[in-house]
Structure 1
Amino acid sequence: MMDKKNLLIIGGSYFTGRVVVEELIKENEYNVFVYNRGNLPLKKKGVKELLGDRNDINRIKEVIPDIEWHALIDFCAYTPEDIEKMIISLPGTFRQYIFISTATVYEESVNLPVKEDAPKLTKPQPQLGEYADYGFNKWRAECKLREMCATRKAVHTVLRPAIIYGKYNYAPRESYFFDLIRDNQPIVIPDKPIALFSFAWVTDVARLVVKCIGNEKVFNREFNIAAEDLVSYERFIQVLESVTEKRLTPMTMSVDEINNRKIPLPFPLDEHLIYSGLELNQTLAYKHIPFEDGMRRTYAYYQWLQKRRRSHL
């Protein structure tokens, strides 16, 4: 019997990381270690939870075992400094560093869908307010990762997901609409819903992450993660009707009116977010779940969660 391979997940207790842990447990070929602040314990059999802040160099050296790491999977690096501190401080050695980046590293483009070689951000985006630095810093973190892995003769894999949806999602995306439907509140969408969006179901993302572990086909490469479906606000409403089995009559407003009323729609009102996930899908021979099927499973989880919460009142 072969020894299990050691995996270190940095972050990993929220949303996508949590699903990755669940998928890894099924594999039964890894020793899974998770390093995070412990705000949301996983409490999964066979998962070793290590408590600490990634910015605390002494803590990293103290609690992370000094062993050979088959791979690191980093869900919560947001700056090049985050990458640098982890690699410099990490006890032991690592073979592969898988970094969960973002599709927002790209410059705005009319060449759609956006592919991996599209131009990257060269500065922050002030128009995004509190998220002005997010995509730019993620891109800078990618650059730092490539540099440091080359120095240490390790390999890197960068994954850039489009809009992720599914169970454990703490961002008010699909749940924004589910809540409105639950409360019989009106749904507002743009009166000219021309924007199209790429999505990825969280379980598909997790399975792709797992398929990248130790896979030479993805060494020293960067990939988008996106399903083939292109979804508009109108299409989103159609899918909501199907999965909730309710007739919806959304209110339409102009982009200016939506902005003036500060209606918190979760996706851009008049800007495409279209990314090609073809490169990774072909490399790993993977097919994403259709958007409607993924949303149906997401809504089933939402209903289960609502029922559970009511039972605890």
Structure 2
Amino acid sequence: MSALRTLFIGGTGVISSACVRAAVTAGHEVTVVTRGRSRQRPPPDGVRALEADARDAEALRGVLRGVLGDERFDVVASFIGYSASDVAVDLEVFAGRTDQYVFISTCSVYAHPAAVLPLRESAARSAPLFEYPANKIVCEDLLLAAHRTTGFPVTIVRPAHVYDRTTLPLLAGWTAVERMRQCRPVVVHGDGTSLWNLMHADDFARAFVPLLGNPRAVGEAVHVTSSELITWDQIHLAVARAAGVEPVLVHRSSEDIGRVVEWMDVVLREDFRHSVLYDRSRLGDLVPGFAEQYTVASGMRETVEWFDADPARRTVDESLDEAFDVLAGTRAPVG
């Protein structure tokens, strides 16, 4: 494929930074628009970095006009579209100015529990109580309506749970690892056997970049997910083994956890407790031969090594630590 003139809205997050690196490696000309530079995930050499509030149409137009004039982009990819107003800005600014607009959505848009597994991209979408996927559904619908009525060249990409070396794919984060290393129980929702999908950001990026400039992906929604089947108990075991310990796992219902840790309530009840399995046949058609390079085990080893390399990264949430003691029965509830 020839080099593409690409614009990434966002470029310093877990997913977007990996995609920027992969696009540069593939030889594409990459411009990113962010609110500021990231110390943790700075853009690589060769990337044109612009600073603007991408959710302000005039500010976005201004920064692009100042550097790029009225030229078109082969691809615009939005990693920070979270609301109808966000998408409205991009429809206004990029209509007629790009051959492909890629919107990063989420696999959390699907109705749970799923009526049929594996989930196809055409499966029912519904998230009445979970704001994040509910807003993504609204964004998807606006973009697809624009595609139907005006030909706006949208591609919707749905990732599942993506992590990189700086993130642990546990709601308790590093607090869970510290508890494991202290031989204290870590709480897992349900019975720990529900299936989940974890994908390393570098693997996501390797699947994502070949979708750019692909006319067969326009007007489509595509899963970019891992092929590895893994339960929540297995995820915790992979983290523990990377940390050099055997964990003590205690199982509690999502409802019980939500009563003690309020912010986990909707996430667990509406998303994490449900088994998920995604059909990847469309991705296989569009990116033939794609296969992940990371397993969850190898990814967790990389992540734990990153945290262990700097004590400042190994922070413990004291309120969550206390909540786990309550849920594990080693501390009496307060009040």
TM-score, with structure 1 as normaliser: 0.83
Alpha-carbon spacing, 1:260–1:5, altered in 2? closer, same or farther (3 Å): closer
Instruction: Return the alpha-carbon distance in structure 2 between the equivalents of residues 231 and 213 of structure 1.
Output: 29
CA contact (8 A) 1:69 1:93 kept: yes
Aligned to 1:50: 50
The equivalent position to 2:80 in structure 1, one of 76, 79, 88, is 76
What do residues 82-139 of structure 1 show as CA deviations (whole Å, max 9, x unaligned)? 1221231249710001111111222222311211111122xx523xxxxx33212212
Cα pair 1:14 1:168 within 8 Å, conserved: no
Of residues 242-251 and 164-173 in structure 1, the stretch that sits farther from structure 2 once superposed is 164-173
Amino acid across the alignment from 1:233: W
SS of equivalent residue, structure 2 residue 123: coil
Distance 1:269 1:183 in 2: 26
Does the Cα contact within 8 Å between 1:80 and 1:145 map onto a contact in 2? no
What code does the residue aligned with 1:205 have?
A: F
Which position in structure 2 is the counterpart of 1:36?
34
**Are residues 258 and 152 of structure 1, via their aligned partners in 2, closer, same or farther at CA, if it must alter by over 3 Å?**
closer
Q: Whole-Å Cα distance in 2 between the matches of residues 245 and 208 of structure 1?
A: 31
Q: Which residue of 2 aligns with 1:93?
A: 97
Q: Which amino acid aligns with 1:225?
A: V
Q: What displacement does 1:280 show?
A: 0.9
Matched, 1:281 2:284: yes
Deviations 1:185-238 (A, max 9, x none): 431224622321122221121111101011233222111222222221222233
**Which residue matches 2:327?**
none
RMSD: 3.0
Instruction: Select between 218-227 and 85-94 the one with higher mean Cα deviation.
Output: 85-94
Amino acid at match of 1:146: L
- Rounded to whole Å, the distance in 2 between the matches of 1:3 and 1:247 is 49
Query: For the structure 1 residues 259 and 62, does the alpha-carbon distance in structure 2 shift closer, same or farther, using more than 3 Å as the test?
Result: closer
Query: Match of 1:251?
Result: 250
3-state SS of paired residue (1:63): helix
Paired letter, 1:306: D
Instruction: Please say if residues 207 and 290 of structure 2, whose CA atoms lie closer than 8 Å, have aligned partners that are also in contact.
Output: no
Aligned equivalents of 1:91, 1:226: Cα separation in 2: 29
Q: What amino acid is the match of 1:120? A: R
- Residues in 2 aligned to 1:37 and 1:238: alpha-carbon distance in whole angstroms: 38
2:163 is matched with: 165
Structure 2 residue corresponding to 1:107, chosen from 79, 94, 111: 111
Count of matched residue pairs: 301
Identical-pair percentage: 20
Partner of 1:129: none
Q: Which protein is richer in strand relative to its size?
A: 1
Structure 1 CA distance, aligned partners of 2:214 and 2:96? 21
- Please list, as runs of the form range in 1=range in 2, the aligned pairs for 1:1-20 lying within 5 A after superposition: 4-20=3-19
Shift of 1:150: 5.0
Contact preservation (8 Å) 2:165, 2:306 = no
